[in-house]
Structure 1
Amino acid sequence: MKGLTTLCYIEKDGQYLMLHRTKKEHDINKDKWIGIGGHFEVDESPDECLRREVFEETGCTLGSCTLRGIVTFVSDGRTPGAGVTEYMFLYTAEDLQGEPADCDEGELIWVDKEECPRLNVWEGDKIFFRLLNTHPEFFSLKLVYNGGDRLMYAALDGRPLEL
């Protein structure tokens, strides 16, 4: 199965707006901290999906944003071809119009950028944070998980990364 998603790290005053996913029962991201985004709807472009998701999750309008990379997630990497593949368009933004409102998926909190990797995040998200700070060019990142929380393989622009 394949999926298309977006994710955005919205920055203000040295902080990212993070969503602590606590409210949905059957949520693959339950208790994790993530950026803002979600799944494409029919016929949406990545930008349209992102803007809709930002509005749905925050009640705010997203101004300018920058597409920073494409992330390929493979789940259940123990058995090639047996898992789920997801392609995520990763954005950053600094132009959020309005004040974030309550979210039905969890709690929205501004978190210092340096603290984000220490939160309960996916292992691959720690790579995102590093790349967003050190890799100014557009990138392609592949992350292979074991079907759970364990990151088994990562590659940046087609070259394996040391985990």
Structure 2
Amino acid sequence: MIKSTVCYLVHDEKWLMLFRNKKQHDLNHGKWIGVGGKLKTNETPYECMVREVIEETGYQVQSALYCGIIHFHYEHHEDEEIYVYQTSDYVGTLHECSEGTLAYIPKKDILDLELWEGDRIFLEKMFRNEVPFSIRLYYDENEIIIKSEVKEANTNE
């Protein structure tokens, strides 16, 4: 099982999004996603999120809200757990990202972007401040969600 994090950085009702357009063989190519990546050995999800934000944006997270966990179950890929965070508490200067184009997008426009179907589910919960959550998404061989389970989570990460 792959374990990853994603963080949404917010400033003035705009969310920092990453358009994955720089790597050809990228599962996320052509999609808008949050900033994040895979956990390293002995790294907590929070530590991973802080490290990934620095690597991909140049920003240093001072504190972040744990929003929940998403369990992705795939027909033809390894299953994945993603720990989701949100922050407005960060410092530094935005730099170019090797994985794609970073852009601050008004919250009201995010759901109009080219997003993964599953991302829409948890982003809507975040927009309504319905956190923390626990979501299970089951995908078929065509990357279409065939089943979803959405619950309130009672624990913090």
Shared fold (TM-score greater than 0.5)? Answer: yes
* Paired residue total: 152
User: Which residue of structure 2 lines up, in the alignment, with residue 22 of structure 1?
Assistant: 21
Query: Which runs of at least 4 in structure 1 moved beyond 6 Å after TM superposition?
Result: none
Q: What is the CA distance between 1:36 and its match in structure 2?
A: 0.6
Q: Secondary structure at the match of 1:94?
A: strand
* C-alpha distance after superposition, 1:108-137 (max 9, x if no partner): 000011111111100011111110022433
Match of 1:114 among 108, 122, 126: 108
Q: Are 1:92 and 2:91 an aligned pair?
A: no
- For 1:132, the aligned partner's letter is M
User: Which residue of structure 2 lines up, in the alignment, with residue 74 of structure 1?
Assistant: 73
Seq. identity, %: 36
User: Which residue of structure 2 lines up, in the alignment, with residue 154 of structure 1?
Assistant: 148
Matches of 1:88 and 1:148, distance apart in 2: 21
User: Which residue of structure 1 lines up, in the alignment, with residue 155 of structure 2?
Assistant: none
- For 2:2, the aligned partner's letter is G
Judging changes above 3 Å, is the alpha-carbon distance between structure 1 residues 148 and 7 closer, same or farther for their aligned structure 2 residues? Answer: farther
* C-alpha distance after superposition, 1:86-116 (max 9, x if no partner): 0110111111211210000000000011111
1:1-150 aligned within 5 A: 2-76=1-75, 83-150=77-144
Contact 1:117–1:125 under 8 Å retained in 2: no
TM-score of the superposed pair, with normalisation by structure 1:
0.88
User: Which residue of structure 2 lines up, in the alignment, with residue 161 of structure 1?
Assistant: none
TM-score of the superposed pair, with normalisation by structure 2:
0.91
Matches of 1:149 and 1:22, distance apart in 2: 19
- For 1:84, the aligned partner's letter is E
Judging changes above 3 Å, is the alpha-carbon distance between structure 1 residues 147 and 96 closer, same or farther for their aligned structure 2 residues? Answer: farther
- For 2:141, the aligned partner's letter is G
What's the C-alpha RMSD, in Å, of the aligned pairs? 1.4
- For 1:73, the aligned partner's letter is F
Which runs of 5 or more residues in structure 1 are unaligned?
A: 77-81, 159-163
- For 1:151, the aligned partner's letter is I
Contact 1:75–1:148 under 8 Å retained in 2: no
